[in-house]
């Protein structure tokens, strides 16, 4: 298994630019999706509030 933290560590030892975050942010359905805040994104839609 190859972990992102391991990749960043090896990139640093090779003097390569290490990315700030793990995943890029995307605009989906007019809202910015951040993988680090996926639950908040899914709760932001009106359909999630329907009971």
Q: Residues 13-39: pLDDT tens digits?
A: 999 988 777 677 788 888 888 877 888
- The answer to the question of residue 5 being in a domain is no
How many Å apart are CA 19 and CA 28, to the nearest integer? 22
- Bridge partners of 32, per DSSP, are 27
- The answer to the question of residue 50 being in a domain is yes
pTM: 0.45
Give how many domains the chain has, as a whole number.
1
Ramachandran assignment for 45, one of left (phi > 0), alpha (psi -120 to 50 degrees), beta (any other): beta
For 22, the domain range is: 18-51
- The answer to the question of residue 37 being in a domain is yes
- The answer to the question of residue 7 being in a domain is no
- The answer to the question of residue 12 being in a domain is no
- The answer to the question of residue 31 being in a domain is yes
Rounded to 5, what percent of the chain is helix, strand, coil?
A: 45, 10, 45
């Amino acid at each position: 298994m190859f972990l992102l933290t391991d990749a960043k560590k090896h990139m640093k030892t090779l003097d390569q630019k290490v990315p700030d975050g793990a995943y890029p942010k995307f605009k989906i359905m007019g809202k910015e999706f951040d993988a680090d805040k996926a639950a908040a994104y899914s709760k932001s839609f009106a359909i999630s509030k329907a009971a």
